[in-house]
């Protein structure tokens, strides 16, 4: 038997606590599965010795949230019992345990890349459910330490037919992963997601593509994919599965504690002989749509009893993007290094010639930002962006210590920094927009004139006027954007994040229709 030892360096261990535990290949198994002569302890004693308080708390709170139990029951009532269940990004196993309780005759595969959470899951379930290895048949749990996309490539086809993929896929931003992992996952999505997709959308895409005729899917997801541009291909593909029943159920906004987003359950059933409807529901309300027509462009609005109508603008021939271009601010990859408050600048002695004025947030700023406005901000709210080349580093000796400090923190190894020729050189990425805009709001999307020539990082959008737009048109359009009519038009292209928060993407902003009085001589400005 091949044994792997996973060594963990964790703080606050008991004196003499062991720092390794056992896996057979990539599968967590109880100590009884190993030779009694082994001198290393098994995972169970390791977890009990390492973190008894955490283990006790986990075992004391082993029940599933009501949404998960509801999803499992809904699936069982409409689709029956699967032969095999795969929990994507199983974590501590909320979906795993719910599935194992509901379908004791099924194989349940819990896949996660994190050995800590998978070890805690093993501790949670070992007394209640049989744990199996990869080469064992029959029902029970298989706890798999692996990357889900890679595991699907070699293991999925070996599972018994009648498979169900379920869970709450990780919703990390894909941009936070190393480039080689991003490229691999994006390719696995087979063209259903754009490059800006979240990891949960990528996992959904590759799972949907893997379904056989007797397989199904049951995911709890952040709701952004229902209206984001990066998931248009995914939505269209789900819509095209016309012989499969599809259900989308919107849950309460607070379900994801660390994000202000709605949660939606996506259920895709097995293939049927005839065309099936798609169901949209939320507590106390539901509707079914026939898929004979084209799919809606933004599915989030399908959950509203009456869809908001966009404001009537004559002709709708001109778009905001005909007069303005919109883009996110600089993605530095290490804001704690590149964004420097005036207090830190004074303490470090960094010359202003190495810095660019930065607007960090719009709260508290007037509608027109000048150099005097920025200079009047308290030192802790007066920000700069480090924008230097290797030449600056040689000319300004005080930068050497600052850059060395960043390298000692490992910032030069972060994927955005590492992708640059010189990791600290932002000079080709910095830009100076005419207008600044906050992409999220609960009330009003603000447009701030940037007379200070400040730059911004990617929590804000920068807007630039296109060439040949007259000053009078600029002024009139800005007034319109701030008006109720303009705000209504913008809200019509924004998406709902949850808790009443709206967000608009740069491309969606450029598609906002504007009155045709902003056209020059009957032609759209280019």
Pairwise CA distance, residues 425 & 356, whole Å: 13
For strand 447-450 and strand 513-514, is the pairing parallel, antiparallel, or unpaired? Answer: unpaired
Alpha-carbon span 502 to 394, nearest angstrom: 45
* CA separation for the pair 137, 147 (Å, rounded): 22
3-state secondary structure 338-366: HEEEHHHHHHHCCCHHHEEEECCCCCCCC
Please give the structure tokens belonging to residue 230. Answer: 């990066």
Instruction: Please state, in angstroms and as integers, the Cα–Cα distance from residue 130 to each residue in 83, 86, 482, following that order.
Output: 16, 16, 62
Cα dist from 42 to 3, 29, 39, 49, 204, whole Å: 11, 8, 10, 11, 34
pTM: 0.65
The CATH T-level fold of domain 59-303 is: Rossmann fold (3.40.50)
Separation between Cα atoms, residue 127 and residue 124, nearest integer Å: 8
Q: Element (H or E) spanning 142, and its range?
A: strand 140-145
The confidence score (pLDDT) of residue 480 equals 96
CA 397 to chain centre: 40
The side-by-side arrangement of strands in the sheet containing 355-358 is 339-341, 383-386, 355-358
Helix (H, G, I), strand (E, B) or coil at 210: helix
Residue pLDDT tens, the chain, 526 long: 333 333 333 333 333 333 333 444 455 555 444 443 333 334 445 445 555 555 454 444 444 578 899 999 999 999 999 999 999 999 888 999 999 999 999 999 999 988 888 888 888 787 888 888 877 888 999 999 999 999 999 999 999 999 999 999 987 766 667 777 778 888 888 899 988 888 999 999 999 999 999 999 999 998 889 988 889 999 999 999 999 999 999 986 555 555 556 889 999 999 999 999 999 998 888 999 988 777 888 888 888 765 544 444 444 468 999 999 999 999 999 999 999 999 999 988 898 989 999 999 999 999 999 999 999 999 999 999 999 888 877 777 778 889 999 999 999 999 889 989 999 999 999 999 999 999 999 889 999 999 999 999 999 999 999 988 999 999 999 999 999 999 999 998 888 776 778 899 999 999 999 998 887 544 444 4
Strand residue runs (E) in 400-494: 435-437, 440-441, 447-450, 461-465
Whole-number pLDDT of residue 3:
34
Both structure tokens of 315 = 């002709």
Supply the pLDDT for residue 19. Answer: 34
Question: What is the distance, to the nearest Å, from the Cα of residue 280 to the centroid of all Cα atoms in its chain?
Answer: 22
Give residue limits of the domains in the chain.
59-303, 314-327+433-452+459-525, 330-430
What is the distance between the alpha carbons of residues 116 and 268, in angstroms, rounded to a whole number?
A: 31
């Amino acid at each position: 038997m091949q044994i792997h030892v996973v060594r963990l360096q964790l703080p606050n261990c008991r004196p003499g606590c062991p720092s390794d535990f056992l896996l057979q290949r990539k599968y967590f198994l109880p100590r009884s599965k190993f030779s009694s002569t082994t001198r290393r302890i098994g995972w169970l004693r390791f977890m009990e010795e390492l973190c008894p308080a955490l283990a006790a708390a986990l075992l004391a709170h082993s029940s599933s949230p009501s949404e998960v139990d509801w999803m499992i029951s809904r699936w069982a009532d409409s689709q029956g019992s699967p032969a095999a269940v795969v929990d994507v990004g199983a974590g501590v196993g909320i979906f795993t345990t719910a599935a194992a309780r509901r379908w004791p005759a099924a194989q349940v595969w819990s896949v996660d890349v994190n050995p800590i959470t998978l070890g805690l899951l093993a501790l949670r379930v070992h007394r209640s459910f049989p744990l199996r290895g990869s080469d064992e048949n029959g029902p029970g749990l298989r706890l798999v330490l692996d990357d889900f996309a890679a595991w699907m490539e070699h293991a999925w086809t070996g599972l018994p037919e009648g498979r169900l993929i379920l869970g709450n896929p990780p919703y990390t931003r894909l941009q936070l992963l190393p480039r080689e992992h991003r490229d691999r996952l994006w390719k696995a999505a087979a063209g259903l997601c754009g490059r800006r997709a979240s990891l949960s959308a990528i996992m959904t895409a590759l799972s949907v593509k893997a379904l056989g005729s007797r397989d199904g899917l049951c995911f709890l997801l952040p709701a952004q994919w229902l209206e984001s541009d990066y998931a248009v291909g995914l939505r269209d593909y789900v819509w095209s599965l016309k012989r499969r029943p599809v259900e989308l159920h919107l849950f309460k906004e607070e379900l994801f504690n660390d994000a202000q987003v709605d949660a939606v359950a996506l259920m895709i059933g097995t293939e049927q002989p005839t065309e099936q409807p798609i169901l949209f529901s939320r507590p106390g309300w539901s509707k079914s749509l026939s898929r004979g027509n084209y799919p809606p462009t933004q599915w989030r609005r399908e959950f509203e009893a009456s869809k908001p109508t966009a404001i009537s603008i004559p002709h709708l021939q001109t778009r905001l993007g005909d007069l303005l271009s919109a883009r996110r601010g600089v993605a530095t990859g290490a804001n704690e290094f590149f964004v420097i408050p005036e207090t830190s600048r004074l303490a470090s002695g960094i010359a202003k010639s190495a810095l660019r004025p930065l607007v960090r947030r719009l709260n508290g700023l007037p509608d027109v930002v000048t150099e005097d406005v920025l200079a009047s901000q308290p030192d802790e709210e007066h920000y700069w962006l480090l924008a230097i080349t290797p030449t600056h580093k040689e000319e300004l000796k005080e930068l050497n210590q600052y850059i060395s400090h960043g390298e000692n923190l490992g910032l030069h190894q972060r994927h955005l920094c590492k992708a640059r020729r010189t990791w600290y050189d932002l000079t080709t990425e910095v830009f100076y927009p005419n207008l600044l805009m906050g992409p999220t709001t609960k009330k009003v999307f603000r447009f701030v004139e940037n007379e200070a020539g400040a730059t911004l990082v990617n929590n804000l959008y920068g807007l630039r006027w296109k060439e040949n737009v007259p000053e009078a048109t600029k002024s009139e359009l800005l007034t319109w954007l701030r008006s109720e009519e303009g705000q209504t038009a913008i809200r019509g292209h924004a998406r709902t994040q949850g808790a009443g928060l709206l967000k608009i993407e740069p491309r969606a902003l450029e598609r906002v229709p504007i009155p045709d009085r902003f056209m020059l001589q009957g032609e759209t400005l280019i």
